[in-house]
Structure 1
Amino acid sequence: QGLARAASRYVGLRSFMSLLGPIMWGTLLADIVIQMLGTDYARIVQAIYAFAQIRLTRSCYLESHEE
């Protein structure tokens, strides 16, 4: 029973690492491309935050005027 548990943990860890590996490589490559293009992370975060604010205010406005 101990060997079966160890084998299942090993298989689970291997499958997790096989999923995590490409994600890490993709993140690294995306970071390199973004740095090569000279994109400023702060501007991207500010834009995402602004879009989220607009969406929240519009959804709250629509909900309050529908009643």
Structure 2
Amino acid sequence: MTAIAPAPVDTTTSNSELGHIYCCNPDLALCGTDISDMAEIDAEEEVDCIVCNDLEAHPCPTCAN
């Protein structure tokens, strides 16, 4: 059986107001979301992105910190 694959979801731009975490690249969240157009939140505010929360405990794939 052959079928057409669905169009991929664009995860490079963020329309949400989720709080994200970044490491060495302030324009790219740990989850892969482009956060270059988002305002930086206070470090004490809760991060809403569950993927960033999960990845925070692991070394950064870019700088290994």
Higher RCO, 1 or 2 (CA under 8 Å, sep at least 6)? 2
Instruction: Answer 1 or 2: which has greater helix percent.
Output: 1
Shorter-chain TM-score tier: under 0.3
The structure with the largest alpha-carbon Rg is 1
* TM-score, normalisation: structure 1: 0.18
